[in-house]
Amino acid sequence: MTIAFDPKRLLGWCFDDKPHQYESRDAILYALGVGLPFVSGDTEDLSFLLEDRLRVLPTYAVTLASPGMWVKAPELGIDWPKLLHVEQSARFAVPLPPQAKVVGRARIKSLHDRGAVKGAVCVVERQICDAADGTLYCTIEQTLLLRGNGGFGGEEPPDARKPEPFARAPDLEETVAVSERSALIYRLSGDVNPLHADYAVARRAGFDRPILHGLASYGLAGALILLRFCDGRPERMQALRVRFAGVVFPGDAVRFRCWKTASGVSFDAYVGDRKVLDQGMAEIS
């Protein structure tokens, strides 16, 4: 029997604290999964790939202490096959160390109704803290579009005005080649959804081959901005936000356009003429 969607139960959903321990090897594997090194040779990229000088990419935090596939809990009534991950943001309090024991604490931050046709918008917040002393490393917000669960009579989302396009040329335009092996490497950081590895599953989802994880594209953007605008120093990246506008495939060439702003860097990204990342914003110091 199908259980009806219950917005009150979703808003009050209690997540268990999620412990997670990682080593330097895990942080390096993540950096490889999002595309480093961008440039071969003795470059700053190696600072995220070698143990004797290891810095951790700030966006590695989004892979830590994940609550997993909680949306499949039958008592919530979420039509999870129709769910889309539409936006990701993170605010970085202090840099992640090369190895740590952390704990993730998640909650439903908000739920809004866009109607039966457009679905519901759910924001999940997760804090990543040090398990020993409670140091806050990162606060993450994941925006989910529940396409099959709108029309329950909830409040509409607040108006979010789309930023006006820049009238000037980008301060940086750079194309990054995504490895054919990228999704197979990135999945080892914890997201083993077969959509990103199994051709049969990808075809059932409407794609001719596996697609790259959205959070791999997010990490790629974060790494590029960190290296090009923050001198490769994780402590300078304070926040990163992006909307997922399209699918990236392993083997694609992703063209980034970046504009310096008063608070950091605005960016978007294309594969050919197709926009894949939109409304990107990095706050940097």
Q: Which residues are catalytic?
A: 191, 196
| CA 46 distance to own-chain centroid | 23
Cα–Cα separations (whole angstroms), residue 114 to 120, 157, 161, 255, 279: 5, 7, 16, 32, 20
CB-based contact 219:30 (threshold 8 Å): yes
H-state helical runs in 69-210: 182-186, 199-204
Cα distance from N-terminal residue to C-terminal residue, the chain: 53
Give which of 177, 198, 108, 112 is closest to 149, Cα–Cα: 112
Q: What span, in angstroms and rounded, lies between the C-alpha atoms of 63 and 96?
A: 12
72: three-class secondary structure by DSSP: helix
Q: Where are the beta strands (DSSP E) in 83-199?
A: 83-92, 100-113, 120-130, 136-146, 172-177
CB-based contact 54:29 (threshold 8 Å): no
96 Cβ neighbours under 8 A, 6+ residues apart: 27, 56, 58, 60, 61, 137, 138, 234
User: Which residues pair with residue 128 across a beta bridge?
Assistant: 104, 138
